[in-house]
Amino acid sequence: MELAGALPLGELAAAFATLPVFPLFDTAYFIVSVLYLKYEPGAVEMSRKSPFASWLCAMLHCFGSYILADLLLGESPLDYFSNNSSVILATAVWYLIFFCPMNLFYKCVSFLPIKLIFVAMKEVVRVRKIAAGVHHAHHRYHHGWFIMMATGWVKGSGVALMSNFEQLLRGVWKPETNEILHMSFPTKASLYGTILFTLQQTHWLPISEANLIFFFTMFMIVCKVFMTATHSHASPFAPVENCICPVFFGSVSSGHTSHHHHDQHGASHEVSHPPPPPAKSKEELNEGTRKRKAKKAE
């Protein structure tokens, strides 16, 4: 029995799940993705020096999730580029954001109220991609839970997971920004979302796919719109993670802090009590006395 089957939102969720994302929602997805590229340091200068490299980076921002998912499933990473309409649309968005006269297009789409609409529409596409990735992997590997989760995860956050490779195209190498080490909210949300969709696809979660798409999309829209409007980077999962992670995985920060505090305390102790200078030997004292006597004689 479904948890949300008796709700009046059932029909709305079913209609929402069948809503086509091309071209309206895909356009919003491309706009926000290329906007994030333009925010990167040196991206505008690179577009002037090497437009082709800038275009490649824009295509990775728009289609990186499809490329990673195809690689995981043993398919050609160029398959999605056979979709001429999507590639042309993404190219047009890239050109308008970087090369529109007087930056008119960029100023319009980066205006906060309009940008929030595009951000909300992008999350609609993200959740659809997660669900499609899990469904595709389930079709090929019926009992491969981890394959389903990996495919859905990269479908939802493939652009972030490919950030280091995209940086290389821009001539930047920042391994400390690895998305695996420092997960952003979309990456974490995509991971948790793909777990839910995997449980639903394997009939462990008693809810229809349409209802799950609807409720998870609403959650993502609310979180992302709020974070974008307030310029916040705090994750909504942080309070729960701060309670659960120390219980299951231990607390690393406390031991590291105490060790660091101990090192600082020891260092300050050494500075406040410097070791006494080594005592001079008897031969050195006699030699110093002879030099002083010779100097007086001179």
Question: Is 109 within the bounds of a domain?
Answer: yes
User: N- to C-terminal Cα distance for the chain?
Assistant: 111
CA 79 – CA 157 distance, rounded (Å): 19
State pTM to two decimals.
Answer: 0.80
pLDDT at 39: 94
121 — pLDDT class (breaks 50, 70, 90): very high
- Structural domain including 136 reads 19-238
Question: Is 130 within the bounds of a domain?
Answer: yes
As for how many domains the chain has, the answer is 1
User: What tokens does 211 get?
Assistant: 């209802």
Question: Is 296 within the bounds of a domain?
Answer: no
Question: Is 61 within the bounds of a domain?
Answer: yes
Nearest to 122 by CA among 47, 39, 35: 35
Question: Is 273 within the bounds of a domain?
Answer: no
pLDDT at 164: 86
CA 104 – CA 20 distance, rounded (Å): 29
Question: Is 292 within the bounds of a domain?
Answer: no
Question: Is 253 within the bounds of a domain?
Answer: no
Query: pLDDT higher for 165 or 195?
Result: 195
The CA–CA distances, whole Å, from 139 to 133, 142, 218 equal: 10, 6, 27
Nearest to 106 by CA among 40, 18, 39, 174: 39
pLDDT in tens, 224-242: 999 999 998 888 888 888 8
DSSP labels for 90-112?
A: HHHHHHHHHHSGGGHHHHHHTSH
